[in-house]
Structure 1
Amino acid sequence: MNFRSACTSFSAATLALAAFLPTTAPALSQDRTRQDRPGQFDFYVLSLSWSPTFCASQKGDGNDQQCGATRDFRFIVHGLWPQYEKGYPDFCRTDEPDRVPRSVGQSLFDIMPSMGLIGHQWRKHGSCTGLGQREYFAKVREAFGRVRLPTDLSRGETSVTLSADEIEQKFIAANPGMSRRGISASCEGRRLEEIRVCLTKDLQFRDCAEVDADGCRASSITLPPAR
């Protein structure tokens, strides 16, 4: 298992249940010889998905909460993932319930538009943070607010095509303290899939060699319009 497949290699069948989890090709290895324990990790990755890319491949698949005719999401939170310097923990044992109550999840619908996504992110990643459910999702909200979205990218009114470096540079320009070694753009074919930003445990920007090396290698990437 690797960094990408841990968080983005969900099957289409699972996507129908989770309502949002994009896929990418495997790249980095995960060390499964150690036991993952809540709270024992090095930093976070905030994964911001470009919703129009996901929705372009999901027509008719029952993801109306995110991709319905009245929905026009742009960047949304795929997840806030605890990471080791190499690899990541997942599905940690915790005293918290596996199920996330709707009363907790619905407050996140503006940035994580389905209970399937919210529940999966808690079980696989939130459980390893050492935080309770409410604390974890408050951290997700705080992390999302920490990153300024470049206006010309996040507007989503028309299609935009740039190189991965140009997309990353726009985020860096909008976020003082962010470096090119602390952000990675991933793609689905030649469409932007996600922006991954590395953050310390107190949500300061930091470098992350493994995540940075796992970026898109396409010569140009398109952000499809929201509508």
Structure 2
Amino acid sequence: MRAFLAAVALFAAGPALADGERAGEFDYYVMSLSWSPNWCRMEGDARDSEQCDEDFGWVLHGLWPQYHRGWPAYCPTTQRQPSRQQTAEMADIMGTSGLAWHQWKKHGVCSGLSASAYYALSREAYGTVNRPEVFRKLDKAVKLPASVIEEAFMKANPGLEKDMVTVTCQDGFIQEVRVCLSRDLSPVPCGRDVVKDCRMKDALFEPIR
């Protein structure tokens, strides 16, 4: 009985992170965009991150290979690790070279691509989604419904449907916008385990620094 209950609890917890899966075998991508001023308030300032010294807005957190249920991570790969120059060249859209390295190590290796090709695809994905300029015009912190962020992205990107984008919150702040993309970077519906829409009506949103 104890073993049965443990199995039920494991199933109810939802899809687990699948470490060490075969590289290149996945269904679609999740592109995660983080609002840099909020991240700096939550974590970056305490880390003395160089990202927080710049006027970043929506930065690329990562481009994540995804299954229809669950996701791979830390896949074995024969691809060469990215050079310091390659990770440094991603800092203009990712905030820091350290994040670029971490994203390759955890997610990029599962794409089946070389580091240079993965970074190029990540940059292309970042460029395919219009980031609403209205948020850069804020001159003070505001509280707003998370749904406003989602609606702004759909308005700026007519090809995006409600089931293709989700907004997450953390510690009372808007955290990320996640957009689901096919392997050729066309918008696609997100899996159920990806859609985690924040329901907050008064989420904090910091202005550009």
TM-score, with length taken from structure 2: 0.86
How large is the RMSD of aligned CA atoms in angstroms? 1.9
Paired residue for 1:39?
Answer: 24
Counterparts of 1:139-178 in structure 2, within 5 Å, are 139-178=121-160
Q: Structure 1: which 5+ runs fail to align?
A: 1-26
1:61 matched to 2:47? The reply is yes
1:214 to 161, 179, 196: 196
1:60 is displaced (CA, Å) by 4.4
- SS of residue in 2 equivalent to 1:66: helix
Counterparts of 1:64-213 in structure 2, within 5 Å, are 65-68=50-53, 71-98=54-81, 100-211=82-193, 213=195
1:30 to 2, 10, 16: 16
| Equivalent AA in structure 2 for residue 166 of structure 1 | V
- SS of residue in 2 equivalent to 1:89: strand
Paired residue for 1:49?
Answer: 34
- SS of residue in 1 equivalent to 2:117: helix
Q: Is the 8 A contact 1:74 1:156 kept in 2?
A: no
Paired with 1:35 and 1:94, the residues of 2 have a C-alpha distance of: 9
Paired with 2:91 and 2:20, the residues of 1 have a C-alpha distance of: 33
Q: Residue 112 and residue 161 in structure 1: after superposition, are their counterparts in 2 closer, same or farther (change >3 A)? A: same
Paired residue for 1:10?
Answer: none
Q: Structure 2: which 5+ runs fail to align?
A: 1-12
Q: Is the 8 A contact 2:145 2:200 kept in 1?
A: yes
Residues 55-80 of structure 1: CA deviation (Å, up to 9, x unaligned): 113324231x2012xx1111100000
Q: Is the 8 A contact 2:165 2:177 kept in 1?
A: yes
Paired with 2:58 and 2:38, the residues of 1 have a C-alpha distance of: 10
- SS of residue in 1 equivalent to 2:124: helix
- SS of residue in 1 equivalent to 2:64: strand
Paired with 1:187 and 1:29, the residues of 2 have a C-alpha distance of: 20
Q: In percent, how many aligned pairs have the same letter?
A: 38
- SS of residue in 1 equivalent to 2:93: coil
- SS of residue in 1 equivalent to 2:40: helix
Runs of 4 or more above 6 Å deviation: none
Paired with 2:156 and 2:202, the residues of 1 have a C-alpha distance of: 21
Between structure 1 and structure 2, the one with the greater Rg is 2
Paired with 1:185 and 1:28, the residues of 2 have a C-alpha distance of: 19
Paired residue for 2:9?
Answer: none
Paired with 2:160 and 2:46, the residues of 1 have a C-alpha distance of: 38
Residues 121-160 of structure 1: CA deviation (Å, up to 9, x unaligned): 0011000001000000000000000000111124453334
Residues 63-120 of structure 1: CA deviation (Å, up to 9, x unaligned): 1x2012xx1111100000000001000001111234x212212222210121211111
